[in-house]
């Protein structure tokens, strides 16, 4: 069965930077299962999966525009340290911030007594990602899985919707 939208795809992957540094891998843990076309995966990887079949192994390079986008300087901002009064903030911490565009994840990248610099870019923005993929299984998603937007384990998904 060739991978198409609304198919459950189960795979192992390893993702690396252009320099070969491993960012993440499922090979030493449970494989990843998701519904193709649900935008659970980055666009470039989802695009590469179409028409693949169980047993296929392949490599694909995904440029930033089909991964986590390019870095945007406007998403790096300095905010007054007093906005964090009562909080013990450290470089590297991430949290949800309320912005003019709604809730956004930000990472603290610098701090002084006067200002805290936060970065709203995804940590992998601006980076080309190289995937090694092995397709372990492909099946049609159930009507319930499609309605819920995620893969169910045998016997259901274990929670109410």
pLDDT digits (tens, 9 = 90+) for 39-97: 999 999 999 999 999 999 999 999 999 999 999 999 999 999 998 888 888 999 998 87
- The whole-number pLDDT of residue 159 equals 52
Q: For the chain, what percentages of helix, strand and coil (3-state, to nearest 5) are there?
A: 15, 40, 45
Tell me how far apart the 2 most distant CA atoms of the chain are, in Å. Answer: 59
| Calpha distance 118→152 (Å, rounded) | 37
Average pLDDT of the residues in 116-122: 94
pLDDT score of 13 more than 90? yes
Q: Is the pTM of this model over 0.75?
A: yes
pLDDT score of 158 more than 60? no
Secondary structure (H, E, C), 26-66: CCCCCCEEEECCCCCCCHHHHHHHCCCCCCCEEEEEECHHH
Output the average pLDDT for the chain. 92
Q: Which domains does the chain have, with CATH numbers?
A: 7-68+125-148 (3.10.50.40), 73-119 (2.40.10.330)
């Amino acid at each position: 069965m060739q991978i198409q939208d609304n198919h459950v795809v189960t795979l192992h992957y390893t993702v690396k930077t252009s320099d070969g540094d491993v960012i993440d891998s499922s090979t030493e843990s449970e494989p990843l299962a998701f519904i193709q076309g649900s935008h659970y995966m980055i666009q470039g990887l989802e695009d590469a999966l179409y028409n693949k079949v169980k047993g296929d192994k392949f490599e694909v390079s995904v440029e930033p525009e089909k991964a986590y986008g390019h870095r945007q300087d406007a998403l790096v901002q300095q905010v007054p340290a007093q906005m964090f009064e009562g909080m013990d903030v450290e470089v590297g911490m991430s949290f949800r911030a309320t912005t003019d565009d709604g809730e956004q994840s930000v990472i603290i990248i610098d701090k002084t007594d006067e200002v805290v610099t936060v970065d709203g870019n995804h940590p992998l923005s601006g980076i080309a990602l190289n995937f090694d993929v092995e397709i372990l299984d492909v099946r049609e998603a159930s009507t319930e899985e499609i309605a819920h937007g995620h893969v169910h384990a045998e016997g259901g998904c274990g929670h109410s919707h």
